[in-house]
Structure 1
């Protein structure tokens, strides 16, 4: 197994013409931990991952594996296992699908049955992929990421399409990978899908970072707080700072570390700021996550 190395995203910006998909994004994914890369659909997660894997060129900043761009890795499949937009030839068997990539990468053919066994597809090795369910295809994608026994795993929505048994299996699977010292980055648009698997979270919305830290820190964020918004957010920010209230800006306003909306409203009143919304934020991990990303998909 290749040793785990950090994934380093630094000042990453990606524009597609007039559209900014990712803006000044910076975070680090450490070895030996499972990191959840979270945000609603359209938040910029896939663009970030595609840039990391050299499929898209950054407008500004960098995305590397321990300081080395994916395209400069000597043996990429033995360093990084990635499952993004998996393509399967429907007429090939699961074994043949993996064998093609193993041969191309100079990986021993013996790895094919090994990884099929690891993901629970041994009995389906001779079956054509065209007849696979979505969950079975997800497992086959995971088998592909493990072909080179890499130290880094980058997985885009790996739980999508899995049944309850499959979800339970992949949670244990991810934890075991991290326990071996690998670096594991898992994207999802739902915190509930990955919260039992991850150690750390990186949350983005509209291409910008809104939260990074341990899952425990997000649990602390789940304490009752107040959400407030104004047509003039700069003035509102200044009023909250003047009142000594700590706040984080989200899509639907500022999340204030104060459970009493009346105190937050008073701070805005004293600052002469018009308030467009003001209410107490319910406690709970999912509520905390949704408040950071604005409560839904773009």
Structure 2
């Protein structure tokens, strides 16, 4: 196995005519960790990966593997395994598909059965790819990335369209790669798809970086609030108004823009209002993610 190395994106911009797809983007992906590259559809993720893999030329800035551009790597498939825009000949079998790429890259065909075994496709090695399910094609794409036993994996939306069993499998697969010391960068437009498998996150929106760091740091992006309720909501609303607390009403009662339930409870006590609920809530990771990117697709 090749050694893992950092992926370094520095001041990267990519423009298509008047459209800026990536705008002064900088981040680093470290070996031994799974990094989620996140953002809505159209945020610039795939363009960034295409520049990284020399499928597009940067307008400004650099994208390298340990300081070396992809086109300058002496044996790229043995350094970087990438899954972007996978194409399959429907009439070829899984082993034939991989053998073609192994031959083109100067790799031993003995790697073909090994990688098919790794991704759980050994029993389907002789089956034509045209009959594969989406999940099986995703696994075959992963097998291709492993042909050169690379230290770096770059995967674009690898869980897109998978069923729950397939998603569970790929989560464990990504972590096993990182535990071997490889560098793993995986893109997705949904945090919920990858949050149980990534260690770090890089979030972009409209081509610009909005957040990077450990996954746990995302929980701090949205301030906690307090939920309070009473059999007499009219009097409770008056108590909150009297205390100068901002709130909205929902099915649980009132959501107060105050992280300390004690202050909310004291306001109700002073007004003599009986409470039926009082607790602190924090937004989930997906809520934090959506608050950063604004939600939805981007042009």
Establish whether TM, by shorter chain, passes 0.5.
yes
Measure the CA separation in 1 of the matches of 2:116 and 2:219. 36
Q: In angstroms, what is the RMSD of aligned CA positions?
A: 1.6
> Cα deviation per residue 1:20-45 (whole Å; 9 max; x = unaligned)?
00000000000000000000000000
Give the aligned partner of residue 277 of structure 1: none
> Cα deviation per residue 1:260-291 (whole Å; 9 max; x = unaligned)?
59xxxxxxxxxxxxxxxxxxx96111000000
Give the aligned partner of residue 100 of structure 1: 100
Deviation at 1:220, TM superposition (A): 2.5
Aligned residue for 1:40, secondary structure, equals: coil
Give the aligned partner of residue 229 of structure 1: none
Deviation at 1:108, TM superposition (A): 1.1
> Cα deviation per residue 1:94-127 (whole Å; 9 max; x = unaligned)?
0000000111111111100000010010111001
Give the aligned partner of residue 213 of structure 1: 213
> Cα deviation per residue 1:180-199 (whole Å; 9 max; x = unaligned)?
00000000000000000000
Measure the CA separation in 2 of the matches of 1:164 and 1:196. 13
Give the aligned partner of residue 168 of structure 2: 168
Please state if 1:88 is matched with 2:88.
Answer: yes
Indicate conservation of the 8 Å contact 2:219/2:283, yes or no.
no
Give the aligned partner of residue 112 of structure 2: 112
Indicate conservation of the 8 Å contact 1:13/1:61, yes or no.
yes
Indicate conservation of the 8 Å contact 1:223/1:284, yes or no.
no
> Cα deviation per residue 1:173-223 (whole Å; 9 max; x = unaligned)?
000000000000000000000000000000000000000000011122244
Indicate conservation of the 8 Å contact 1:219/1:284, yes or no.
yes
Measure the CA separation in 2 of the matches of 1:130 and 1:102. 20
Give the aligned partner of residue 180 of structure 2: 180
TM-score by length of 2: 0.80
Measure the CA separation in 2 of the matches of 1:163 and 1:131. 17
TM-score by length of 1: 0.81
Measure the CA separation in 1 of the matches of 2:169 and 2:33. 18
Measure the CA separation in 1 of the matches of 2:258 and 2:67. 45
Please state if 1:58 is matched with 2:58.
Answer: yes
Give the aligned partner of residue 7 of structure 1: 7
User: Cα–Cα, structure 1 residues 219 and 17, in superposed 2: closer, same or farther, change >3 Å?
Assistant: same
Indicate conservation of the 8 Å contact 2:40/2:296, yes or no.
yes
Give the aligned partner of residue 38 of structure 2: 38
Q: Which structure: larger Rg? A: 2
Give the aligned partner of residue 73 of structure 1: 73
Task: Give the number of aligned pairs.
Answer: 247
Indicate conservation of the 8 Å contact 1:52/1:63, yes or no.
yes
Measure the CA separation in 1 of the matches of 2:16 and 2:174. 33
Gapped regions of structure 1 (runs ≥ 5) = 226-257, 262-280
